[in-house]
Amino acid sequence: MTPTDRTPSSASLRSDLTLVALLVGLGVVARLMPHEWNFTPIAASALFAGTVLSRRLLAFAVPVAALLISDAFIGFDSTAMTFIVYGLFLLPACVALLPARARAPFMFVPAIIGYSLVFFLVTNFAVWALDGMYPHTFAGLATCYAAGLPFLPQTVIGDLFWAAALFGGYALVQRAPRVARHPA
């Protein structure tokens, strides 16, 4: 086989890698541009990638690459918090591991809202447990969660917005009439 041969497999890989690059680029740009706290496309991009890529495992590269590249400019959190946050952003990509019926369109809203809530609960617990900003008591944990509450609506709204933009845009592209390509 020569490099000019086009097989469905190589076209599919090229298409997947292009989408991964676009999603990573979107995540990086969105994190580097001024934005509301937690209003980024990282989680939605991971969910989208896990749903539409033909090589679904590539979905795990989307949030990690976007975070690594943008954190190189923004700065990294403490090592423990970085691992926790990166690990949490892998959760939406786990949809790639589910059977097709579990990846049905009606599941995206509950999945992204559920993810937003898990992100809030785990990251605030980690701040309480690791950063020493709050006493290691129930009252300290409650204070930590209360301090994080203003960020929760932004996270949920941001994740829903970006999921709607990605999945809605994809649906529009899928429904658009195909333009026939004629060799020049």
Rounded-to-integer distance, Cα 27 and Cα 29, Å:
6
Write the CA distances from 123 to 51, 107, 130, 156, integer angstroms: 25, 24, 10, 14
Residue 182 forms part of a structural domain:
no
Q: Is the pTM of this model over 0.75?
A: yes
Domain of 63, CATH number, reads: 1.10.1760
* Structural domain contains residue 126: yes
180 within a domain of the structure (yes/no): no
Tokens (6 digits) for 118: 């898990």
Per-residue CA distances from 153 to 37, 107, 117, 149 (Å): 10, 20, 10, 8
Number of domains in the chain: 1
Dist. CA 152–CA 173, nearest whole Å: 31
Q: Is residue 4 part of a domain?
A: no
Q: What angle do CA 35, 59, 86 make, to 5 degrees?
A: 55
Q: Is residue 161 domain-resident? A: yes
What pLDDT tens digit does each residue of the chain (184 aa) get?
444 444 458 888 899 999 999 999 999 999 999 988 889 999 999 999 999 999 989 999 999 999 999 999 998 877 888 999 999 999 999 987 877 777 777 788 888 999 999 999 999 999 999 988 999 999 999 999 999 999 999 999 999 999 999 999 998 888 877 765 555 5
The answer to whether position 183 is within a domain reads no
Residue 179 lies in a domain: no
Instruction: Quote the CA–CA distance of 142 and 123 in Å, as a whole number.
Output: 13
Q: Which domain holds residue 165?
A: 13-174
Residue 1 lies in a domain: no
| 123 token code pair | 């990251």
